Structure formats: C-alpha cells, structure tokens
Amino acid sequence: MCCGETWRMEFFNRWLEQGSRQGAARRLAPWVLGVGGALALRWETVTVAGLTRRLRVAWVSDVHLWRRGTIRTVRAVILAVREARPDVVVLGGDLVDAKMGLRQLELLVRALIRVAPLWALPGNHDESFGVGRVEAAVRRAGGSWLPDGPAHVAGGEVRLMTGDAQRWMSRVGGFIVACVHNPATARAWDGAASVVLAGHLHGGQIVLMESGGRAWPCALVYRWCGPRFELPLGTTLLVGRGAGDQLPVRWCCPREVLCVDLVPGKMGCGETL
C-alpha cells in the first residue's frame, strides 16, 4: 500500500473501534431514517439430518453502497459480523449502486475476510450498475465470487451454491446452502438444498403488521415478504431484511445481518445422504 492508502486504512480502523466501543449501548428504534446505525443480529437455526458439524453463516444482503454516507453502512455491517463470529460470510447481492460504492465495498470485504472466508453474489442493482465491476472489487479485496461455482465449506461437507440449480445439483454431493438474491427463485432449490438464503425485499421496509409469517402490506405484492418459510419438499427459505436501503426509511423493520446456524440432526429411517 502507498502511504496515503495506509493512512486511510488506519483512520478507518480507528473509526471502527470507536463504533465497537459504542456498540454495547446500541438500541434499535422502530423508526429509521437515513443510512447507517446499528444493525440487528437475527438468529435462525436449521437442523440438517446427517450433518456432522455445526456451521454458522452470516448472510449480508442489500447494502446498497453508492454515496459518501453509506460508509456508515459499511461500519455497521463490520461491527455486526464481528459480533456474530461466523464460519462463513456471504454478501447476498445489491452491493453497489454507484462508482463511489466500489471503494466502500473493497473496505467492507477486506474487513470481513479477517473474520471469516467470504463469498459474494450479485443482485439486480449490481446488474444495473455492472456486475463485472462489482465482481472485480470483491476479488481485489480478497473475497471470492460465488457464481464461479460451488464453494466447499465445513470440511467439504456443505456446498454454498448460486445460479442455475439444475446446472449444479447433478455435479455435487453433500449438503447444499443455496444463495439467491430474489426469494422468488427459491423454489427451484426445494428438495435439493437444506436451506435457501435470500434478500431483495428489505423486509418490506414499512411493516404495519405481521400475520401468517409475513410482513404487511409488502406481502400483498410479494409472496415471500417474511422472515422464514418451509417449502413443500422440506427446504427452509430464510429471507434477510437487508443491511441498507436505497430509499433509507424503515418502520418496525430493522436492518440486519442474518446469522444462520446449521446444526446436526439425526437421520430418519430410510434417509440417505
């Protein structure tokens, strides 16, 4: 690194530590206006029959980095992931909306790979901005690009996968964690993946009520606007509320890092891997 780059990283790290000291006193308000602020850690557990070791995945979607102020989102994500202490981090799409966000994404990835191995995948906003530019930023910072192919984690027992389900499912064994940006594509993985992780909907942002496992009024338009769904063939769909917003307004819908614990379970009679 050049002297200027080293100085900027030192300043950024000191800023992070200041935020870490303040984190113990954080309180999440129902009304959020603007970017940044503490993130909720949402914990979900999925029991996987036949799994021999526990795996914790930190799912971070919809950070929407695009202007100077979104550096506060970067800090909030880093602090939350450090607290979660995951085995794997996955950035679940809608990462960058404008050129300034590329530099912020690199800072984010560099910090997170010190916590755990990291993979990223694109969302619809990344496709609009330029997937190649987002991918290059992730790689420069030391992260991995999940669309390249399955990632073997937990000693090779679990595969992180994205993209075309039919393309990959016949080529890999073990337990599958499918990572998609839009939950509308989750059913393609039903019965094949143990769990599908998604984002995109931001939890609805404005939540007036929760009923039937869904957040309303968003659920009037989007079927999968809710935190957790059990699909017909046994796959669990977990939908993150996102760590940021392009329109930064929320009510009763905290921004979050989704922490998923895959835990071993006993296999039923007749079940095989």
Place of tokens 């989704």: 258
Delimit the domains of the chain by residue range.
31-265
Two structure tokens written together for 43: 């914990």
Give the C-alpha separation, 207 to 123, whole Å: 23
Q: How far is CA 57 from the centre of its chain?
A: 9
What CATH number does domain 31-265 carry, 3.60.21.10, 3.60.110.10, 3.20.20.100, 3.40.50.970? 3.60.21.10
Per-residue pLDDT, 226? 98
Instruction: Give the start-end residues of each E strand in 28-107.
Output: 31-33, 40-49, 55-60, 88-92
pLDDT per residue as tens digits for the range 72-99: 999 999 999 999 999 999 999 999 999 9
- Closest of 173, 63, 73, 170 to residue 123, by C-alpha: 63
Torsion angle of C-alpha atoms 45, 226, 193, 124, degrees rounded to 10: -130
Per-residue pLDDT, 2? 54
Give the C-alpha separation, 199 to 224, whole Å: 10
Two structure tokens written together for 264: 């071993």
% of the chain exceeding 70 in pLDDT: 85
Per-residue pLDDT, 170? 59
| pLDDT (average), residues 112-137 | 98
Residues 6+ apart with CB under 8 A from 207: 215, 216, 218, 251, 252, 253
State whether residue 200 is helix, strand or coil. Answer: coil
pLDDT per residue as tens digits for the range 202-212: 999 999 999 99
